[in-house]
Structure 1
Amino acid sequence: MAKAATKGTKKASAKPAGKKATKPAAKAAAKATTAAKVSAKAGKPAPKTTAKAAPKTTAKAASKAKAKSAKKPAVKLSMLRPSVNNMTVRVFARAAGLDHAETDAWGLTRTPEFLARNPAHLTPMIEDKGLPRGVLWESCAIMQYLANKHGLEKFYPKAPAKRAMVDSAMFYLIGTLYPYVARATYPALGFPQYAGEVGHSDAQPDKKSEAQKAAAAAIAEPLEVFHSFFRDGKPFIGGNNPSIADIRLAATLEFLAVIDYALPGWAQDYMAAIEKKLGKAYAEPASDVRAYIAHVKAQAGA
């Protein structure tokens, strides 16, 4: 009796347990089979669980973020810190918010590697994939190109008449004002002058000094042209906002501090207004030029 009772108990307890364990499994299997059949009929793979998809999505997002952070700058700029020509493009790139990287080319412009890309050995120079030869020098040309490429009308208007005035102001600066500034300041800055200039010749020191003073005296006339003609009562050549011509002019006038040139009141206010308008975009590159001028003057006074 005891054995029979034990057998009966085992059978009774085994059957309900077997049924309870089998039914949920059977239902799950049936659901999976049904889902697989539906997917097969629709020509789609069986659905994946959210748990498996989530890590893939996260990994993909992380991969994109990593690729974005490793992205190379769109424009490479080779420059010389003490130069106002170089300062011009450095200010513009910052003010325009362009993705760029700067390389100090001091002592490198005559190397075979640099000359292979830039036979004129001039800075500033940009490297950009959109250029036919991959590089471009001359500060005004660089600003014009980048403004055109990125649609920066705020700095370089598209309207023909307005653009012509900006172009005219820059070309007048390069052709007339800047040569005077260079002749007046380069001897004090320790920069070499161009062949044919008195400062580059074997002339006596008094002749060189005379030529330097004559150049400084000649600055007043073209400077007034910028005030009375190109600005014509406006805050800037570009109107209410500085244009690429304004950036080029303000940077050029920075060099005059080395000879203690007495800028007229309007020019002082003009330069202060540009720096205020552009903020750090102007102040940071300008600080390199000003530091060099301060160093030169300190050396001269020592």
Structure 2
Amino acid sequence: MLKVYGDYNSGNCYKIKLMLHLLGLEYQWFAVDILKGETETPEFLAKNPNGKVPVLELELEDGTCLWESNAILNYLADGSEFLPAEPRLRTQVLQWQFFEQYSHEPYIAVARFIQFYLGLPEERLAEYRKLQKRGYKALDVMEQQLNRTPYLVGEQYSIADVTLYAYTHVADQGGFDLSSYPGIQAWLARVASHPRHVGMLD
């Protein structure tokens, strides 16, 4: 059985949980507490030398482990309806995954970490305000696309949506107001309506 090492409140870990449920795959979840340093133990570093969650341990005798959430999504979704085979569409999926890692997650997820995990400490308020500005820019980009198509890559729910849903649906925990983003709001509801959808803390 697949084994997932992760933090239930982490958007990056939630991506993997959501994907496994969408695919109907069985797995075991092993909770890892980031704030307690559990990603820095020798046992965990043997699975991911970069010391981060999530980690997916495969059902192989050699104990192969995969890390980096978007790479894991590509592995799990390969050959499924959630990863287009057509090169142009598949590249657009990757385009949104790179966008998430470089233009979305560094701002929306980090703002959430400062507010939700740390409680907005005074010494990080200036950083937090800068993150707000850049996070809204990422939301503007998503809104433009979602006003044109129901999902980020056209008509089909894909891992591009899983990738960006994870932190966008809890963006309010980082101080982001989505009320002026009707396209994003409709998309969030569309993603959550999938019959195999699972919530972050379900």
**TM-score, normalization: structure 1?**
0.59
Counterpart of 1:80?
Answer: 7
The 8 Å contact of residues 77 and 83 in structure 2, kept in 1 or not, is answered as yes
Counterpart of 2:163?
Answer: 248
Q: 1:224 and 2:113 equivalent?
A: no
Structure 1 alignment gaps of length 5 or more = 1-72, 192-198, 289-302
Matches within 5 A, 1:44-83: 73=1, 75-83=2-10
Please give the per-residue CA displacement for 1:32-63, whole angstroms capped at 9, x wherever unaligned: xxxxxxxxxxxxxxxxxxxxxxxxxxxxxxxx
Residue 130 of structure 1 and its aligned partner are, at CA, apart by 5.7
Secondary structure (helix, strand or coil) at the match of 1:102 reads strand
Secondary structure (helix, strand or coil) at the match of 2:198 reads helix
Secondary structure (helix, strand or coil) at the match of 1:208 reads helix
- Percent pairwise identity: 26
Q: Please give the alpha-carbon distance, in whole angstroms, between the structure 1 residues aligned to 2:74 and 2:6.
A: 17
Secondary structure (helix, strand or coil) at the match of 2:5 reads strand
The 8 Å contact of residues 113 and 174 in structure 2, kept in 1 or not, is answered as no
Counterpart of 1:69?
Answer: none
Residue 133 of structure 1 and its aligned partner are, at CA, apart by 6.6
The 8 Å contact of residues 142 and 184 in structure 2, kept in 1 or not, is answered as no
Q: Please give the alpha-carbon distance, in whole angstroms, between the structure 1 residues aligned to 2:91 and 2:60.
A: 24
Report the CA distance shift for 1:167/1:212 in structure 2 as closer, same or farther (over 3 A).
same
> Which stretch shows the higher mean deviation, 85-94 or 263-272?
263-272
Q: Please give the alpha-carbon distance, in whole angstroms, between the structure 1 residues aligned to 2:201 and 2:155.
A: 25
Counterpart of 1:287?
Answer: 201
Q: 1:141 and 2:93 equivalent?
A: no
**TM-score, normalization: structure 2?**
0.86
Report the CA distance shift for 1:131/1:234 in structure 2 as closer, same or farther (over 3 A).
farther
Q: 1:239 and 2:125 equivalent?
A: no
Secondary structure (helix, strand or coil) at the match of 2:20 reads helix
| Among 119, 124, 128, the residue aligned to 1:212 | 128
- Supply the RMSD in Å over aligned alpha carbons: 2.5
Structure 2 alignment gaps of length 5 or more = none
Q: Please give the alpha-carbon distance, in whole angstroms, between the structure 1 residues aligned to 2:25 and 2:170.
A: 26
Residue 222 of structure 1 and its aligned partner are, at CA, apart by 2.0
| Among 268, 272, 294, the residue aligned to 2:189 | 272
Q: Please give the alpha-carbon distance, in whole angstroms, between the structure 2 residues aligned to 1:158 and 1:232.
A: 24
Secondary structure (helix, strand or coil) at the match of 1:136 reads strand
| Among 83, 98, 102, the residue aligned to 1:175 | 102
Please give the per-residue CA displacement for 1:113-165, whole angstroms capped at 9, x wherever unaligned: 122222112111011146987001111000101222xx11x111111100000
Q: Which structure shows the higher helix fraction?
A: 1
Report the CA distance shift for 1:241/1:282 in structure 2 as closer, same or farther (over 3 A).
farther
Q: 1:115 and 2:45 equivalent?
A: yes
